[in-house]
Structure 1
Amino acid sequence: MTKSGSARTAGYVMSGLFIAFMLLDGGMKLVPLDVVIQATVGLGYPPELARPLGVIGLLCTVLYAVPRTSVLGAILVTGYMGATAATHLRVGHPLFTHILFGVYLAIIAWGGLFLRDPRLRELLPLRSPQQER
């Protein structure tokens, strides 16, 4: 497999893991399970917000999963994950396991998109064109 083929495959794997996690998370909020209601209340939000948050997360994930709207989805997912980080910071949760978890997910989402979409690599090169010569 070529270098670009390997990168694309790694990108699809990363994106697939991110999408699977978000579908599970959104699905749990739509049901909503008792553990989700308890966690929502524990974060200081009313239990009625679990479903709308699940819908928002799922919509952002669908936009991310569709190639034509993947960049828009990644931008929206980043905002969603930023809100999760702010929420965990507000309630005083641990930094690396709770506050930054949304940041980790956003990095996986953008990393997967970066590796699978050559247009994004052209827009955001990791090296300048002069270094490639």
Structure 2
Amino acid sequence: MTYPAIETPASSNAALWTGRVLSGALITFLVFDAAIKLVPLQVVIETTAALGFPPELARTLGALTLICTALYAWPRTAILGAILLTGYLGGAIAIHLRIGNPLFSHTLFGVYLGLMAWGGLYLRDQRLQALIPFRR
């Protein structure tokens, strides 16, 4: 099965690099987050328990984060990775809402990361630009 070619204007060099920087910062943060959950550090165990999860679940959460981040980092699967990260971050937002954490520093942090993920991907991936064309 063949698909018709989708023509999109080439991204500017500045937009491409902005997307790479946003995506790179997000990937770096999420790999660090996954790594401290895989170890797991004492602060992770305490925080996981405070969120209402059994501490032994930290490694599972770290593995999920790492898998979704790897899919996001790989260009061929970046859109799938962004979709999976969006679901993961949505769960984090729901947990913070449930326990009543502060809105801007904790609850909306997942929204900030999601905006970085999709914004960075949009700026660096012409397939996504063709799928969601913003027009002036």
- Residue 30 of structure 1: aligned partner: 38
- Residue 55 of structure 2: aligned partner: 47
Distance (whole Å) between structure 2 residues aligned to residue 74 and residue 38 of structure 1: 28
Describe the superposition over 1:58-97 as per-residue Cα deviations: whole angstroms up to 9, x where unpaired: 0000000000000000000000000000000010001111
**Percent identity among equivalent residues?**
58
SS across alignment from 2:12: helix
- Residue 19 of structure 1: aligned partner: 27
- Residue 100 of structure 1: aligned partner: 108
Distance (whole Å) between structure 1 residues aligned to residue 38 and residue 11 of structure 2: 40
- Deviation at 1:126? 1.2
Distance (whole Å) between structure 1 residues aligned to residue 134 and residue 47 of structure 2: 39
Instruction: Report whether the alignment pairs 1:112 with 2:120.
Output: yes
Query: TM-score scaled by structure 2?
Result: 0.91
- Residue 74 of structure 1: aligned partner: 82
Structure with higher helix content: 1
- Deviation at 1:119? 1.2
Cα RMSD for the two superposed structures: 1.2
Distance (whole Å) between structure 2 residues aligned to residue 3 and residue 103 of structure 1: 25
User: Contact between 2:11 and 2:126, CA under 8 Å: does it hold in 1?
Assistant: no
User: Contact between 2:11 and 2:123, CA under 8 Å: does it hold in 1?
Assistant: no
- Deviation at 1:104? 0.5
* Amino acid in the other structure paired with 1:45: F
* Amino acid in the other structure paired with 2:37: K
SS across alignment from 2:68: helix
- Deviation at 1:11? 0.2
User: Contact between 2:11 and 2:124, CA under 8 Å: does it hold in 1?
Assistant: no
SS across alignment from 2:111: helix
* Amino acid in the other structure paired with 1:65: A
- Deviation at 1:3? 6.4
